[in-house]
Structure 1
Amino acid sequence: MRARWALAGVALLFAAVLAGLGVWQVERRAWKLALIDRVEARLAAPAQPAPARARWATINDDDTYTRVTVTGTWQATPPVFTQAVTDFGAGYWALSPLDTAGGTILINRGFVPTDTRKAIVPPVGPARITGLLRVTEPDGGFLRDNDPADDRWYSRDTAAIARARRLGPVAPYFIDAEAVPGVQWPRGGLTVVRFRNNHLVYALTWFALAAMMACFAWRIARGRDHADG
Protein backbone atom coordinates (compact mmCIF):
# COMPACT_ATOMS: atom_id res chain seq x y z
CA MET A 1 0.00 0.00 0.00
CA ARG A 2 2.72 2.47 0.94
CA ALA A 3 4.67 1.66 -2.22
CA ARG A 4 1.53 2.32 -4.27
CA TRP A 5 0.98 5.68 -2.54
CA ALA A 6 4.64 6.60 -3.04
CA LEU A 7 4.49 5.75 -6.74
CA ALA A 8 1.30 7.76 -7.19
CA GLY A 9 2.89 10.70 -5.37
CA VAL A 10 5.97 10.58 -7.59
CA ALA A 11 3.74 10.47 -10.69
CA LEU A 12 1.79 13.52 -9.48
CA LEU A 13 5.04 15.33 -8.80
CA PHE A 14 6.21 14.66 -12.35
CA ALA A 15 2.81 15.81 -13.65
CA ALA A 16 3.19 19.09 -11.76
CA VAL A 17 6.72 19.61 -13.13
CA LEU A 18 5.58 18.91 -16.69
CA ALA A 19 2.62 21.26 -16.31
CA GLY A 20 5.01 23.91 -15.01
CA LEU A 21 7.12 23.50 -18.13
CA GLY A 22 3.99 23.96 -20.22
CA VAL A 23 3.15 27.19 -18.41
CA TRP A 24 6.73 28.38 -18.94
CA GLN A 25 6.42 27.78 -22.68
CA VAL A 26 3.15 29.74 -22.75
CA GLU A 27 4.96 32.63 -21.08
CA ARG A 28 7.84 32.30 -23.55
CA ARG A 29 5.37 32.41 -26.42
CA ALA A 30 3.87 35.64 -25.10
CA TRP A 31 7.38 37.11 -24.78
CA LYS A 32 8.30 36.03 -28.33
CA LEU A 33 5.11 37.51 -29.81
CA ALA A 34 5.78 40.80 -28.02
CA LEU A 35 9.35 40.77 -29.36
CA ILE A 36 8.11 40.18 -32.90
CA ASP A 37 5.66 43.06 -32.55
CA ARG A 38 8.44 45.38 -31.34
CA VAL A 39 10.78 44.41 -34.16
CA GLU A 40 8.07 44.82 -36.79
CA ALA A 41 7.35 48.28 -35.41
CA ARG A 42 11.05 49.19 -35.71
CA LEU A 43 11.19 47.93 -39.28
CA ALA A 44 8.14 49.98 -40.25
CA ALA A 45 9.30 53.17 -38.50
CA PRO A 46 11.16 55.98 -40.30
CA ALA A 47 14.94 55.79 -40.08
CA GLN A 48 16.44 57.65 -37.12
CA PRO A 49 19.99 58.92 -36.60
CA ALA A 50 22.45 56.15 -35.75
CA PRO A 51 23.50 56.18 -32.08
CA ALA A 52 26.55 58.39 -31.51
CA ARG A 53 29.48 57.59 -29.21
CA ALA A 54 27.72 58.94 -26.12
CA ARG A 55 25.19 56.11 -26.46
CA TRP A 56 27.52 53.30 -27.43
CA ALA A 57 27.79 51.92 -23.90
CA THR A 58 24.03 51.34 -23.70
CA ILE A 59 23.57 49.56 -27.04
CA ASN A 60 22.01 46.12 -26.56
CA ASP A 61 19.75 43.58 -28.26
CA ASP A 62 16.75 45.86 -27.77
CA ASP A 63 18.26 48.14 -30.42
CA THR A 64 18.62 45.39 -33.02
CA TYR A 65 16.78 45.91 -36.33
CA THR A 66 16.20 49.61 -35.69
CA ARG A 67 16.20 51.51 -38.98
CA VAL A 68 18.95 54.11 -38.82
CA THR A 69 20.68 56.58 -41.10
CA VAL A 70 24.16 58.06 -40.90
CA THR A 71 26.34 60.41 -42.93
CA GLY A 72 30.12 60.25 -43.10
CA THR A 73 33.21 59.59 -45.16
CA TRP A 74 34.60 56.17 -46.05
CA GLN A 75 37.98 55.25 -44.63
CA ALA A 76 40.51 54.22 -47.25
CA THR A 77 40.96 50.65 -46.02
CA PRO A 78 40.32 47.29 -47.69
CA PRO A 79 36.91 45.75 -46.91
CA VAL A 80 36.60 43.04 -44.29
CA PHE A 81 34.88 39.95 -45.65
CA THR A 82 32.90 37.79 -43.23
CA GLN A 83 31.50 34.43 -44.25
CA ALA A 84 27.85 34.43 -45.27
CA VAL A 85 25.17 32.30 -46.88
CA THR A 86 22.18 33.91 -48.60
CA ASP A 87 19.64 33.06 -51.30
CA PHE A 88 22.46 33.85 -53.76
CA GLY A 89 24.58 31.04 -52.30
CA ALA A 90 27.80 31.06 -50.29
CA GLY A 91 29.95 34.16 -50.12
CA TYR A 92 30.78 37.05 -47.84
CA TRP A 93 29.48 40.21 -46.25
CA ALA A 94 31.65 43.20 -47.18
CA LEU A 95 32.26 45.55 -44.24
CA SER A 96 33.86 48.98 -44.52
CA PRO A 97 34.42 51.68 -41.86
CA LEU A 98 32.59 54.99 -42.16
CA ASP A 99 33.92 57.99 -40.25
CA THR A 100 31.00 60.03 -38.91
CA ALA A 101 30.56 62.98 -36.58
CA GLY A 102 29.46 60.48 -33.93
CA GLY A 103 32.42 58.11 -34.35
CA THR A 104 33.51 55.31 -36.69
CA ILE A 105 30.84 52.79 -37.66
CA LEU A 106 31.31 49.58 -39.60
CA ILE A 107 28.91 49.34 -42.52
CA ASN A 108 27.88 45.99 -43.93
CA ARG A 109 27.65 47.07 -47.56
CA GLY A 110 26.06 43.78 -48.57
CA PHE A 111 26.62 40.29 -49.91
CA VAL A 112 29.43 39.33 -52.28
CA PRO A 113 29.61 35.92 -54.03
CA THR A 114 32.81 34.00 -53.47
CA ASP A 115 34.04 34.40 -57.05
CA THR A 116 33.42 38.17 -56.94
CA ARG A 117 35.32 38.95 -53.75
CA LYS A 118 38.58 40.02 -55.43
CA ALA A 119 36.75 42.56 -57.57
CA ILE A 120 35.36 44.48 -54.60
CA VAL A 121 37.30 47.67 -53.93
CA PRO A 122 37.18 50.06 -50.95
CA PRO A 123 34.53 52.76 -51.25
CA VAL A 124 35.70 56.36 -51.27
CA GLY A 125 34.31 59.79 -50.51
CA PRO A 126 31.26 60.93 -48.57
CA ALA A 127 28.25 58.67 -48.11
CA ARG A 128 24.82 58.61 -46.57
CA ILE A 129 23.83 55.14 -45.36
CA THR A 130 20.41 53.89 -44.34
CA GLY A 131 19.95 50.40 -42.97
CA LEU A 132 19.32 48.19 -39.97
CA LEU A 133 21.32 48.44 -36.75
CA ARG A 134 22.86 45.11 -35.75
CA VAL A 135 24.69 44.43 -32.48
CA THR A 136 28.29 43.23 -32.68
CA GLU A 137 28.84 39.47 -32.95
CA PRO A 138 31.86 38.58 -30.77
CA ASP A 139 31.19 34.84 -30.50
CA GLY A 140 32.16 33.82 -34.01
CA GLY A 141 29.87 32.00 -36.41
CA PHE A 142 29.43 28.84 -38.48
CA LEU A 143 30.71 26.99 -35.39
CA ARG A 144 34.11 28.62 -35.89
CA ASP A 145 36.02 31.41 -34.17
CA ASN A 146 37.28 34.42 -36.04
CA ASP A 147 40.97 34.29 -37.01
CA PRO A 148 42.14 37.93 -37.30
CA ALA A 149 45.76 36.93 -37.90
CA ASP A 150 44.81 35.18 -41.15
CA ASP A 151 42.03 37.64 -41.94
CA ARG A 152 39.38 34.93 -41.68
CA TRP A 153 36.07 36.16 -40.32
CA TYR A 154 32.99 34.14 -39.51
CA SER A 155 31.06 36.83 -37.65
CA ARG A 156 30.90 40.61 -37.55
CA ASP A 157 32.84 41.28 -34.36
CA THR A 158 33.28 45.04 -34.56
CA ALA A 159 35.91 45.35 -31.81
CA ALA A 160 38.08 42.53 -33.22
CA ILE A 161 37.83 43.94 -36.74
CA ALA A 162 38.79 47.39 -35.47
CA ARG A 163 41.88 45.98 -33.73
CA ALA A 164 42.92 43.93 -36.75
CA ARG A 165 42.57 46.89 -39.14
CA ARG A 166 43.80 49.49 -36.63
CA LEU A 167 40.67 51.56 -36.99
CA GLY A 168 40.67 52.94 -33.47
CA PRO A 169 37.43 53.00 -31.42
CA VAL A 170 34.39 51.84 -33.38
CA ALA A 171 30.71 51.51 -32.54
CA PRO A 172 29.64 48.28 -30.80
CA TYR A 173 27.22 47.77 -33.65
CA PHE A 174 27.28 47.71 -37.42
CA ILE A 175 24.69 48.74 -39.99
CA ASP A 176 23.27 46.40 -42.62
CA ALA A 177 22.98 48.83 -45.50
CA GLU A 178 19.95 48.89 -47.75
CA ALA A 179 20.34 47.96 -51.40
CA VAL A 180 21.80 50.67 -53.62
CA PRO A 181 20.03 51.00 -56.99
CA GLY A 182 22.29 50.05 -59.87
CA VAL A 183 24.89 48.33 -57.68
CA GLN A 184 24.98 44.56 -58.08
CA TRP A 185 27.74 43.71 -55.61
CA PRO A 186 27.96 44.18 -52.71
CA ARG A 187 24.20 43.67 -52.60
CA GLY A 188 22.58 45.24 -49.56
CA GLY A 189 19.11 44.81 -48.16
CA LEU A 190 19.45 41.07 -47.57
CA THR A 191 19.00 41.06 -43.81
CA VAL A 192 16.78 38.15 -42.80
CA VAL A 193 14.49 39.05 -39.90
CA ARG A 194 13.01 35.79 -38.68
CA PHE A 195 12.18 34.46 -35.23
CA ARG A 196 11.46 30.83 -34.48
CA ASN A 197 8.25 30.56 -32.50
CA ASN A 198 7.51 26.91 -31.66
CA HIS A 199 6.55 27.63 -28.07
CA LEU A 200 2.88 26.69 -28.53
CA VAL A 201 3.86 23.24 -29.82
CA TYR A 202 6.26 22.80 -26.92
CA ALA A 203 3.59 23.92 -24.43
CA LEU A 204 1.00 21.49 -25.80
CA THR A 205 3.58 18.69 -25.64
CA TRP A 206 4.40 19.40 -21.99
CA PHE A 207 0.71 19.67 -21.07
CA ALA A 208 -0.04 16.38 -22.83
CA LEU A 209 2.77 14.64 -20.95
CA ALA A 210 1.51 16.16 -17.69
CA ALA A 211 -1.99 14.85 -18.40
CA MET A 212 -0.61 11.38 -19.14
CA MET A 213 1.37 11.38 -15.91
CA ALA A 214 -1.66 12.56 -13.91
CA CYS A 215 -3.74 9.78 -15.49
CA PHE A 216 -1.03 7.31 -14.54
CA ALA A 217 -1.16 8.51 -10.91
CA TRP A 218 -4.96 8.24 -10.90
CA ARG A 219 -4.86 4.67 -12.21
CA ILE A 220 -2.38 3.72 -9.51
CA ALA A 221 -4.63 5.21 -6.80
CA ARG A 222 -7.72 3.59 -8.34
CA GLY A 223 -5.99 0.24 -8.41
CA ARG A 224 -5.31 0.60 -4.68
CA ASP A 225 -8.96 1.38 -3.96
CA HIS A 226 -10.09 -1.68 -5.89
CA ALA A 227 -7.58 -3.77 -4.02
CA ASP A 228 -8.96 -2.48 -0.68
CA GLY A 229 -12.52 -3.28 -1.80
Structure 2
Amino acid sequence: MKNKFSLAVLLICIASAFVVLMGLGFWQLQRLEWKEAMIARVEEGLNKPPLSIDEIEALDAAGEDIEYRPAFAEGTFLHDAEQHYFATYRSRVGYFVYTPLVMDDGKRLFVNRGFVPMERKDASSRPEGQIVGRVRIEGLARTAPTEKPNSQVPNNDLTKNVYYWKSLSQMAGRAYDKTEFDTASVFLDAGEGVAPGGLPIGGVTRITFSNNHLQYAYTWFGLAAALVGVGGFFLFSLVRGSKENEVA
Protein backbone atom coordinates (compact mmCIF):
# COMPACT_ATOMS: atom_id res chain seq x y z
CA MET A 1 0.00 0.00 0.00
CA LYS A 2 2.83 2.39 0.93
CA ASN A 3 4.59 1.75 -2.40
CA LYS A 4 1.37 2.38 -4.33
CA PHE A 5 0.83 5.66 -2.47
CA SER A 6 4.40 6.76 -3.23
CA LEU A 7 3.95 5.89 -6.89
CA ALA A 8 0.71 7.88 -7.04
CA VAL A 9 2.35 10.94 -5.49
CA LEU A 10 5.30 10.69 -7.88
CA LEU A 11 2.99 10.33 -10.85
CA ILE A 12 1.04 13.43 -9.80
CA CYS A 13 4.27 15.41 -9.43
CA ILE A 14 5.50 14.35 -12.86
CA ALA A 15 2.14 15.11 -14.46
CA SER A 16 1.98 18.53 -12.77
CA ALA A 17 5.50 19.42 -13.89
CA PHE A 18 4.67 18.27 -17.43
CA VAL A 19 1.59 20.51 -17.53
CA VAL A 20 3.63 23.49 -16.31
CA LEU A 21 6.41 22.94 -18.86
CA MET A 22 3.95 22.53 -21.71
CA GLY A 23 2.12 25.64 -20.55
CA LEU A 24 5.36 27.63 -20.63
CA GLY A 25 6.05 26.33 -24.13
CA PHE A 26 2.65 27.41 -25.45
CA TRP A 27 3.02 30.76 -23.67
CA GLN A 28 6.26 31.33 -25.58
CA LEU A 29 4.45 30.52 -28.82
CA GLN A 30 1.88 33.18 -27.93
CA ARG A 31 4.73 35.60 -27.21
CA LEU A 32 6.24 34.69 -30.58
CA GLU A 33 3.00 35.57 -32.36
CA TRP A 34 2.80 38.87 -30.47
CA LYS A 35 6.45 39.75 -31.17
CA GLU A 36 6.19 38.95 -34.88
CA ALA A 37 3.07 41.13 -35.13
CA MET A 38 4.83 43.98 -33.32
CA ILE A 39 7.91 43.75 -35.56
CA ALA A 40 5.70 43.73 -38.66
CA ARG A 41 3.83 46.77 -37.35
CA VAL A 42 7.06 48.67 -36.72
CA GLU A 43 8.46 47.81 -40.14
CA GLU A 44 5.21 48.82 -41.82
CA GLY A 45 5.26 52.18 -40.06
CA LEU A 46 8.90 52.86 -40.88
CA ASN A 47 8.28 52.30 -44.59
CA LYS A 48 5.49 54.87 -44.85
CA PRO A 49 6.09 58.40 -46.15
CA PRO A 50 6.76 61.13 -43.56
CA LEU A 51 3.82 63.24 -42.40
CA SER A 52 3.47 66.54 -40.61
CA ILE A 53 2.48 66.51 -36.95
CA ASP A 54 -0.97 67.82 -37.89
CA GLU A 55 -1.44 64.85 -40.21
CA ILE A 56 -0.16 62.49 -37.52
CA GLU A 57 -2.62 63.90 -34.98
CA ALA A 58 -5.49 63.57 -37.45
CA LEU A 59 -4.67 59.90 -37.99
CA ASP A 60 -4.34 59.37 -34.23
CA ALA A 61 -7.72 61.02 -33.62
CA ALA A 62 -9.26 58.74 -36.25
CA GLY A 63 -7.97 55.69 -34.40
CA GLU A 64 -5.16 54.91 -36.86
CA ASP A 65 -1.88 53.46 -35.66
CA ILE A 66 0.74 56.23 -35.72
CA GLU A 67 3.50 54.45 -33.82
CA TYR A 68 6.87 54.65 -35.61
CA ARG A 69 5.43 56.69 -38.47
CA PRO A 70 8.05 59.00 -39.98
CA ALA A 71 7.10 62.57 -39.14
CA PHE A 72 8.47 66.09 -39.11
CA ALA A 73 7.87 69.41 -37.42
CA GLU A 74 9.28 72.93 -37.58
CA GLY A 75 9.54 75.53 -34.85
CA THR A 76 11.69 76.80 -32.01
CA PHE A 77 12.70 74.94 -28.86
CA LEU A 78 11.80 76.02 -25.33
CA HIS A 79 14.98 74.71 -23.73
CA ASP A 80 14.19 76.04 -20.27
CA ALA A 81 11.14 73.74 -20.22
CA GLU A 82 12.87 70.45 -21.10
CA GLN A 83 11.74 67.34 -19.23
CA HIS A 84 13.86 64.29 -18.41
CA TYR A 85 12.80 60.68 -18.91
CA PHE A 86 14.96 58.12 -17.07
CA ALA A 87 16.51 55.74 -19.60
CA THR A 88 19.46 53.58 -20.55
CA TYR A 89 21.20 53.89 -23.89
CA ARG A 90 24.02 51.65 -25.06
CA SER A 91 24.61 50.42 -21.49
CA ARG A 92 24.77 53.96 -20.11
CA VAL A 93 22.30 55.33 -17.56
CA GLY A 94 20.87 58.77 -18.09
CA TYR A 95 17.88 60.56 -19.55
CA PHE A 96 16.03 61.20 -22.76
CA VAL A 97 15.50 64.94 -23.09
CA TYR A 98 11.92 65.93 -23.99
CA THR A 99 11.85 69.55 -25.10
CA PRO A 100 8.74 71.51 -26.18
CA LEU A 101 8.91 72.76 -29.75
CA VAL A 102 6.75 75.81 -30.48
CA MET A 103 5.39 75.28 -33.98
CA ASP A 104 4.20 77.96 -36.39
CA ASP A 105 0.59 77.77 -35.19
CA GLY A 106 1.69 78.19 -31.56
CA LYS A 107 1.05 74.57 -30.63
CA ARG A 108 3.65 72.88 -28.43
CA LEU A 109 5.09 69.51 -29.41
CA PHE A 110 7.27 67.50 -27.05
CA VAL A 111 10.32 66.29 -28.95
CA ASN A 112 12.53 63.51 -27.62
CA ARG A 113 15.81 65.12 -28.64
CA GLY A 114 17.86 62.16 -27.46
CA PHE A 115 20.09 60.85 -24.70
CA VAL A 116 22.26 62.61 -22.15
CA PRO A 117 24.23 60.77 -19.42
CA MET A 118 23.11 61.20 -15.83
CA GLU A 119 25.86 63.67 -14.96
CA ARG A 120 24.78 65.92 -17.84
CA LYS A 121 21.12 66.14 -16.87
CA ASP A 122 21.40 69.83 -16.06
CA ALA A 123 21.03 71.78 -19.29
CA SER A 124 23.68 74.27 -18.12
CA SER A 125 26.29 71.49 -18.50
CA ARG A 126 25.63 71.29 -22.25
CA PRO A 127 24.87 74.82 -23.47
CA GLU A 128 26.19 74.15 -26.98
CA GLY A 129 23.38 71.67 -27.57
CA GLN A 130 20.62 74.17 -26.77
CA ILE A 131 19.90 75.13 -30.37
CA VAL A 132 18.57 78.65 -30.84
CA GLY A 133 16.28 79.67 -33.69
CA ARG A 134 14.00 77.86 -36.06
CA VAL A 135 14.67 74.15 -36.60
CA ARG A 136 13.19 71.32 -38.61
CA ILE A 137 12.99 68.03 -36.72
CA GLU A 138 12.55 64.75 -38.56
CA GLY A 139 11.95 61.54 -36.69
CA LEU A 140 9.29 59.07 -35.60
CA ALA A 141 5.86 59.73 -34.15
CA ARG A 142 5.05 58.05 -30.84
CA THR A 143 1.80 57.75 -28.97
CA ALA A 144 1.42 59.23 -25.51
CA PRO A 145 0.43 56.65 -22.86
CA THR A 146 -2.51 57.55 -20.64
CA GLU A 147 -1.32 55.57 -17.61
CA LYS A 148 1.65 53.72 -16.18
CA PRO A 149 2.51 50.50 -18.05
CA ASN A 150 2.23 48.52 -14.80
CA SER A 151 2.41 48.88 -11.03
CA GLN A 152 6.13 48.08 -11.02
CA VAL A 153 6.95 51.38 -12.73
CA PRO A 154 7.68 54.16 -10.17
CA ASN A 155 5.64 57.33 -10.09
CA ASN A 156 7.12 60.29 -11.90
CA ASP A 157 9.14 62.59 -9.63
CA LEU A 158 8.02 66.00 -10.81
CA THR A 159 9.98 67.79 -8.11
CA LYS A 160 13.25 66.42 -9.49
CA ASN A 161 12.09 66.50 -13.11
CA VAL A 162 12.51 62.75 -13.53
CA TYR A 163 9.93 60.71 -15.46
CA TYR A 164 9.64 56.93 -15.35
CA TRP A 165 6.74 56.84 -17.76
CA LYS A 166 5.88 59.37 -20.45
CA SER A 167 2.91 61.24 -19.02
CA LEU A 168 2.20 63.96 -21.56
CA SER A 169 -0.18 65.79 -19.21
CA GLN A 170 2.39 65.89 -16.42
CA MET A 171 5.14 67.02 -18.78
CA ALA A 172 2.96 69.83 -20.10
CA GLY A 173 1.80 70.86 -16.64
CA ARG A 174 5.34 71.04 -15.30
CA ALA A 175 6.96 72.55 -18.40
CA TYR A 176 4.53 75.46 -18.60
CA ASP A 177 4.13 75.95 -14.86
CA LYS A 178 0.47 74.92 -15.13
CA THR A 179 -0.22 77.54 -17.81
CA GLU A 180 -2.45 75.96 -20.43
CA PHE A 181 -1.14 75.80 -23.97
CA ASP A 182 -2.35 73.82 -26.96
CA THR A 183 -0.10 70.75 -26.84
CA ALA A 184 0.18 68.09 -29.53
CA SER A 185 -1.30 64.77 -28.45
CA VAL A 186 1.73 62.77 -29.63
CA PHE A 187 5.49 62.77 -29.18
CA LEU A 188 8.15 63.10 -31.84
CA ASP A 189 11.38 61.11 -31.40
CA ALA A 190 14.15 62.97 -33.19
CA GLY A 191 16.12 61.02 -35.77
CA GLU A 192 19.81 60.18 -35.72
CA GLY A 193 22.26 62.98 -35.16
CA VAL A 194 24.22 64.67 -32.42
CA ALA A 195 23.47 68.20 -31.27
CA PRO A 196 26.26 70.80 -31.20
CA GLY A 197 28.60 70.02 -28.33
CA GLY A 198 27.76 66.30 -28.57
CA LEU A 199 24.52 66.24 -26.57
CA PRO A 200 21.77 65.18 -26.74
CA ILE A 201 22.41 62.13 -28.92
CA GLY A 202 19.48 61.65 -31.27
CA GLY A 203 18.08 58.56 -32.91
CA VAL A 204 17.48 56.71 -29.66
CA THR A 205 14.19 55.08 -30.67
CA ARG A 206 14.44 51.33 -30.49
CA ILE A 207 13.36 49.88 -33.84
CA THR A 208 15.04 46.44 -33.71
CA PHE A 209 13.83 43.75 -31.33
CA SER A 210 15.20 40.36 -30.35
CA ASN A 211 12.91 37.44 -31.09
CA ASN A 212 13.99 34.22 -29.36
CA HIS A 213 10.55 33.02 -28.34
CA LEU A 214 10.57 30.02 -30.69
CA GLN A 215 13.87 28.87 -29.22
CA TYR A 216 12.46 29.29 -25.72
CA ALA A 217 9.35 27.29 -26.71
CA TYR A 218 11.51 24.45 -28.04
CA THR A 219 13.43 24.49 -24.75
CA TRP A 220 10.30 24.13 -22.63
CA PHE A 221 8.81 21.44 -24.89
CA GLY A 222 12.14 19.62 -24.85
CA LEU A 223 12.22 19.67 -21.05
CA ALA A 224 8.66 18.33 -21.01
CA ALA A 225 9.66 15.49 -23.33
CA ALA A 226 12.74 14.75 -21.22
CA LEU A 227 10.59 14.71 -18.09
CA VAL A 228 8.24 12.17 -19.66
CA GLY A 229 11.15 9.99 -20.73
CA VAL A 230 13.07 10.08 -17.46
CA GLY A 231 9.98 10.06 -15.27
CA GLY A 232 8.39 7.22 -17.25
CA PHE A 233 11.54 5.12 -17.02
CA PHE A 234 11.80 5.78 -13.28
CA LEU A 235 8.16 4.88 -12.69
CA PHE A 236 8.53 1.75 -14.78
CA SER A 237 11.56 0.72 -12.72
CA LEU A 238 9.70 1.29 -9.46
CA VAL A 239 6.67 -0.66 -10.61
CA ARG A 240 8.80 -3.57 -11.83
CA GLY A 241 10.80 -3.57 -8.58
CA SER A 242 7.59 -3.55 -6.55
CA LYS A 243 6.21 -6.54 -8.46
CA GLU A 244 9.47 -8.47 -8.04
CA ASN A 245 9.36 -7.85 -4.28
CA GLU A 246 5.78 -9.10 -4.14
CA VAL A 247 6.74 -12.28 -5.96
CA ALA A 248 9.74 -12.81 -3.71
TM-score by length of 1: 0.74
- Displacement after TM superposition at 1:107 (Å): 0.8
Task: For 1:25, give the aligned amino acid.
Answer: Q
Q: Deviations over 1:143-199 (max 9, x none)?
A: 754221233445543221111123535344311112458744333223233424332
CA 185–88 in structure 1, closer or farther in 2 if over 3 Å, else same: farther
Query: Hey, what does 2:112 align to over in structure 1?
Result: 108
CA 104–8 in structure 1, closer or farther in 2 if over 3 Å, else same: same
| Correspondent of 1:45 among 41, 45, 48 | 48
- Displacement after TM superposition at 1:68 (Å): 1.8
Larger radius of gyration: 2
Structure 2: where are the runs of 5+ without partners? Answer: none
Structure 1: where are the runs of 5+ without partners? Answer: none
- Displacement after TM superposition at 1:223 (Å): 3.6
Aligned residues: 225
- 2:35 aligned with 1:32, yes or no? yes
CA 153–124 in structure 1, closer or farther in 2 if over 3 Å, else same: farther
What is the DSSP-based 3-state SS (H/G/I as helix, E as strand, rest coil) of the residue aligned with 2:219? helix
Name the structure, 1 or 2, with higher relative contact order (CA <8 Å, separation 6+): 1
Q: Is the 1:53–1:103 contact (alpha carbons within 8 Å) kept by the matching residues of 2?
A: no
- Displacement after TM superposition at 1:139 (Å): 4.1
Query: Hey, what does 1:219 align to over in structure 2?
Result: 234
Whole-angstrom CA distance in 2 between matches of 1:196 and 1:134: 20
- 2:227 aligned with 1:209, yes or no? no
Query: Hey, what does 1:55 align to over in structure 2?
Result: 60
What is the DSSP-based 3-state SS (H/G/I as helix, E as strand, rest coil) of the residue aligned with 1:134? strand
Whole-angstrom CA distance in 2 between matches of 1:24 and 1:154: 28
CA 129–52 in structure 1, closer or farther in 2 if over 3 Å, else same: same
| Correspondent of 1:177 among 180, 190, 207 | 190
What is the DSSP-based 3-state SS (H/G/I as helix, E as strand, rest coil) of the residue aligned with 1:163? helix
Q: Is the 1:136–1:173 contact (alpha carbons within 8 Å) kept by the matching residues of 2?
A: yes
Q: Deviations over 1:55-108 (max 9, x none)?
A: 35858xx64322222345545853223344434955443322234559532011
Query: Hey, what does 1:168 align to over in structure 2?
Result: 181
Q: Is the 1:29–1:199 contact (alpha carbons within 8 Å) kept by the matching residues of 2?
A: yes
Whole-angstrom CA distance in 2 between matches of 1:83 and 1:67: 24
Q: Is the 1:74–1:123 contact (alpha carbons within 8 Å) kept by the matching residues of 2?
A: yes
CA 155–28 in structure 1, closer or farther in 2 if over 3 Å, else same: closer
Query: Hey, what does 1:117 align to over in structure 2?
Result: 123
Task: For 1:195, give the aligned amino acid.
Answer: F
Q: How does 1:178-193 map to 2 (within 5 A)?
A: 178-179=191-192, 183=196, 184-193=198-207
Whole-angstrom CA distance in 1 between matches of 2:138 and 2:74: 9
Q: Is the 1:84–1:91 contact (alpha carbons within 8 Å) kept by the matching residues of 2?
A: yes
